[in-house]
Amino acid sequence: IPRYSAAFSSASVKSDLSKAMSQDGASQFQEVIRQELELSVKKELEKILATAPSHEFEHTKKDLDGFRKLFHRFLQEKGPSVDWGKIQRPPEDSIQPYEKIKARGLPDNISSVLNKLVVVKLNGGLGTSMGCKGPKSLIGVRNENTFLDLTVQQIEHLNKTYNTDVPLVLMNSFNTDEDTKKILQKYNHCRVKIYTFNQSRYPRINKESLLPVAKDVSYSGENTEAWYPPGHGDIYASFYNSGLLDTFIGEGKEYIFVSNIDNLGATVDLYILNHLMNPPNGKPCEFVMEVTNKTRADVKGGTLTQYEGKLRLVEIAQVPKAHVDEFKSVSKFKIFNTNNLWISLAAVKRLQEQNAIDMEIIVNPKTLDGGLNVIQLETAVGAAIKSFENSLGINVPRSRFLPVKTTSDLLLVMSNLYSLNAGSLTMSEKREFPTVPLVKLGSSFTKVQDYLRRFESIPDMLELDHLTVSGDVTFGKNVSLKGTVIIIANHGDRIDIPPGAVLENKIVSGNLRILDH
């Protein structure tokens, strides 16, 4: 147990501790510490709640109650949350190939099936890792369109094509809510009803004392870094608390399709939806997780396993150190979670009201700007799969997993490898092989602004297998990259790839300056 110095200083605690130590030792000692720590945290949270203005009181109370429950579980759990010996490969029929789902075809009444669907996008993240301020969903990814634009276009296209009313719901965080709501006005005339709700706002805790860092409810000034959104596993409670879950059930909606807003491959799939609405064996499926085959680039992705008779998502953070290499093995665990999930609304309501959604706690250590070490407790939406009945994995094509986490990913989706149609990106038919090239852009390209400055136009990449760029490199207009291309400018050097250059299986290094005369 960490040093809990600030958590207990009173005489009563000391006497409790000495009693515990004189009895049969460590377990009671730890139990007393746990109880005292919970009491101290409770008092701190009450102090914070007392600073909430009346119009925020109820909302803040729900957040802090949720945090207390999570903190209580955090103190109860010991060691890795999975027993490696119990992990088994999932049974054959529990992960179905997408081809089998697609082969069932579509019913005539596809519109009435679509009208039972709600699309939810996880929109809590900022664009900081790509050097952008504000919500990540507002970064331009293709022809000036942002992630959010493309999402709205996709759903509007569905609603117009099938004459349906599929709504879009954004789960924002306190980091993204205000900026997102300002932008939503521009979609007022689109044929998509857009709703938002906020995930919870939990206090970060000091790594040493395990007490909240925040002193009051504000999140400005010195309190800016005191709060965090607790991961997308928070969707179940937040969606329920927002009232939207009941609203949609009242409107006859049955399933939500949840995905990350930065996964450009996560479009509504009619075949999967039909499989859910018309299950072949008559048994309704409450939870579908789309998985796809691992490549060497995906070794850290969470994988579906069989555990104590249920499908269970296992993340790398839960794996005992001795088994991490085995977990990363592409041969033993062949698939990973895309975080495209189809979930029954009625089941979410039932489990939420029974307090029966069980998700492992992810402990995420951070260092604040001032150097203070904190931890934040998070959960992941897919981890709840084991709480639902008759869950299913569907092994989908890689094209349904197209996340944009870095400017290397951005280069791929901006290039001629993909064509854009009604908000959906599809691999160009001109590409001869279905795999996506491996692209690694160096640190000079990390920020979107720098990245855009270094490409006069996006190169032709239809025949590219592998691109590595390192150092101070710029690309002129209409460059074509084929096969394996490696461009390395050493420290102090600069390489300007000239306009119209065709690089096929080339290594470029040294210094190449092209200046206007």
378 token code pair: 């998070």
Quick check: 394 and 95 in contact, CB under 8 A? Answer: yes
List, in sequence order, every beta strand (DSSP E) within 3-159. Answer: 87-88, 95-97, 117-123, 140-142, 145-146
Of 310, 405, 482, 506, the active-site residue reads: 405
Closest to 33 measured CA to CA, from 59, 5, 62 = 5
Distance CA 431, CA 479 (A): 17
Residue type, 328: K
- Of 273, 337, 287, nearest to 104 by C-alpha is 273
Q: Decide if 387 contacts 379 (C-beta within 8 A).
A: no
DSSP 303-329: EEEEETTEEEEE-GGGS-GGGHHHHH-
Rg (CA), the chain: 25
State yes or no: is 102 an active-site residue: no
CB 197 within 8 A of CB 246: no
Pairing of strands 494-497, 472-475: parallel
Binding-site annotation, residues for substrate: 232
Q: How far apart are CA 409 and CA 406, in angstroms?
A: 5
* End-to-end alpha carbon distance in the chain: 67
Widest distance between CA atoms in the chain: 86
481: Cα within 13 Å, side-chain hemisphere: 29
Tell me the binding residues.
Answer: 136, 199, 231-232, 262, 405
Whole-angstrom distance, CA of residue 344 vs CA of residue 256: 7
Judge whether 229 and 219 are in contact, CB under 8 Å. Answer: no
SS (H, E, C) 123-136: ECCECHHHCCCCEH
With a CB cutoff of 8 Å and minimum separation 6, the contacts of 286 are 343, 344, 347, 388, 389, 390, 391
As to burial, measured by CB atoms within 10 angstroms (0-12 exposed, 13-18 middle, 19+ buried), residue 304 is buried
- One-letter identity of residue 317: A
To which residue do tokens 């117009």 refer?
Answer: 160
In Å, how far are 147, 258, 351, 416, 429 from 144, measured between CA atoms? 10, 25, 41, 15, 23
Q: Which two tokens stand for residue 138?
A: 């507002």
d(CA 107, CA 279): 12
Q: Helices 26-50 and 54-76 meet at what angle, rounded to 10?
A: 170
Give strand pairing partners of 90.
none
CA-CA distance, 509 to 494, in Å (whole number)? 9
Sequence ranges of the binding site for UTP: 136, 199, 231, 262, 405
Which residues are the active-site residues?
405
